[in-house]
Amino acid sequence: MRFMRFEQHDRVGLAVDAGDGWRGRFIDEDGIPADVSAIAASEERARLALVERLREGFAVDTNQVRYLPPSANPGKIICLGLNYRDHAREFDSPPPAYPTLFARFVSSLIGHGQPLVRPRVSDKFDYEGELVLILGRGGKHIAQEDALDHVFGYSVFNDGSIRDYQLRTSQWTVGKNFDGTGAFGPWVVTADELPPGATGLTLETRLNGEVMQHASTSDMIFGVAQTIAIISEGMTLDAGDVIVMGTPSGVGYGRKPPVYMKPGDVCEVSIERIATLRNAVVQEA
């Protein structure tokens, strides 16, 4: 099953892939939640009832809507760095023995088809194609063998990074949170549609049609289940939280000479059986 969040005629809506096209309703209708994270957090009976309401809604022409990030305001957006061995080598770092974790904030997010914004203060705007998950159940001290039961679904993320700001200190937060740099979408595919832990899926990033990253999600150092278990050792995870699973090798920073995104470029991130996330690059006004 696939869910998307969109804007049309200045109203925000949710839609479900009904098999013969997308159908949806606006969130200002009674009983329609604000975003996909809220769907993920709902109990199964309520979720099934919502799916039926969406299927009975209006036809959504994806060529006539503005895609929004699937999650409007998740409680947490937790990201992994250096989670592929080849990518760690690009940064002259040994493979981590413990996940390199950092946070993203909602203000940095954009949806599919919306512009990635290169900031005024830097021209070192790098791409990072990544798998992202939304939790359907929370918890603390979640056992690794139970962790996949907590996943609602998966989507695609471009963790756009301002490298010079990211690497000014050992703390990456600023360089990972410039406005309009984190693309998320276009929709969420429920976990039951994919292999356990979304393993074995091809991930590819293209810049102006040229393949820059090509890897399998099986190449991650810390898989989905292990990541959830480790994070929940220290913090309570909540339904609707978002975890971004890290990028493979091939980023612009690691190339000689480096290749960064510039205004007019188009960056696409594709993950097999999920979606292609496509965004053009613009200069900050």
| 188 pLDDT higher than 90 | yes
pTM of the model: 0.97
Cβ count near 69 (within 10 Å): 27
Q: How many residues does the chain have?
A: 285
Fold of 77-283: Fumarylacetoacetate hydrolase; domain 2 (3.90.850)
Amino acid at 185: G
**Calpha distance 37→237 (Å, rounded):** 13
Cα distances (angstroms) measured from residue 25 to each of 22, 48, 208, 242, 243: 10, 15, 35, 24, 27
The pLDDT value recorded for residue 86 is: 87
Name the residue among 104, 68, 260 with its Cα closest to residue 177: 104
Average pLDDT, the chain: 97
| Percent of the chain residues past pLDDT 90, beyond the cut | 96
Whether the pLDDT of residue 174 is over 90: the answer is yes
On whether the CB atoms of residues 99 and 232 are closer than 8 A, the answer is no
At a CB cut-off of 8 Å and minimum separation 6, what does 126 contact?
160, 161, 162, 163, 251, 252, 253, 260, 261
Residue 91 has pLDDT above 90, yes or no: no
On the 0-12 / 13-18 / 19+ scale of CB atoms within 10 A, 280 is: middle
Q: Which residue's structure tokens are 């760095």?
A: 81
Q: For the chain, how are helix, strand and coil distributed in percent, rounded to 5?
A: 20, 35, 40
Q: pLDDT of 106-143, one tens digit each? A: 999 999 999 999 999 999 999 999 999 999 999 999 99
Least confident span in 78-87, 120-129, 208-217, 276-285: 78-87
The residue ranges of every structural domain in the chain are 2-67, 77-283
Burial (CB < 10 A; 0-12, 13-18, 19+), residue 113, is middle
Query: pLDDT grade, residue 35 (50/70/90)?
Result: very high
